[in-house]
């Protein structure tokens, strides 16, 4: 949708009569007038899109190369929670603070599925998961360490959207 069409559509919806002012007139009304109007029009143009509905986001790309097989049965309850408790929560727990976190960022907790999702699947994959492209071993920095098979399962669970 062209910018002029977007403006016309907004005027029709709002039932507003818009007078056309030159840049000089807009500056006389308010020094930032032209800039504000331009910014609003640009924001509306971007927000309106092409009218074909919401754009689909591409699936995340994992450094491990992990993908979600159609028959995956891994869930938070069957896999994610146990993995996080065993290998991650000695540092990445909301119940820990200060030096007890051993350098783990405060915003990276894995106590719950929601907290794990907030930390980000791409981050967890990049530091810990395995897949056909690579085996990421940055985490955990202390024992116990997950086996390569467990890391591959982690990559699958992440690629499936952390169900």
pTM of the full structure: 0.64
Cβ atoms 140, 88 nearer than 8 A? yes
Q: How far is CA 5 from CA 36, 43, 67, 101, in A?
A: 19, 14, 42, 55
pLDDT of 61 reads 73
Q: Please write the tens of the pLDDT for every residue from 37-78.
A: 555 555 555 555 555 555 666 666 788 999 999 999 999 999
């Amino acid at each position: 949708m062209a910018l002029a069409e977007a403006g016309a559509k907004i005027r029709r919806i709002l039932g507003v009569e818009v007078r056309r002012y030159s840049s000089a007139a807009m500056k006389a009304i308010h020094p930032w007038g032209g800039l504000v109007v331009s910014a609003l029009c640009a924001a509306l143009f971007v927000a309106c899109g092409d009218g074909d509905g919401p754009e689909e986001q591409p699936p995340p790309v994992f450094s491990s190369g992990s993908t979600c097989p159609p028959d995956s049965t891994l869930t938070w309850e069957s896999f994610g929670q146990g993995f996080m408790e065993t290998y991650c929560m000695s540092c990445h727990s909301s119940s820990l603070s200060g030096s007890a976190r051993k350098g783990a960022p405060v915003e990276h907790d894995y106590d719950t599925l929601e907290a794990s999702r907030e930390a980000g699947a791409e981050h967890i994959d990049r530091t810990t998961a395995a897949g056909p492209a690579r085996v990421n071993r940055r985490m955990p920095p202390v024992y116990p360490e997950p086996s390569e098979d467990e890391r591959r399962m982690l990559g699958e669970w992440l690629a499936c959207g952390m169900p």
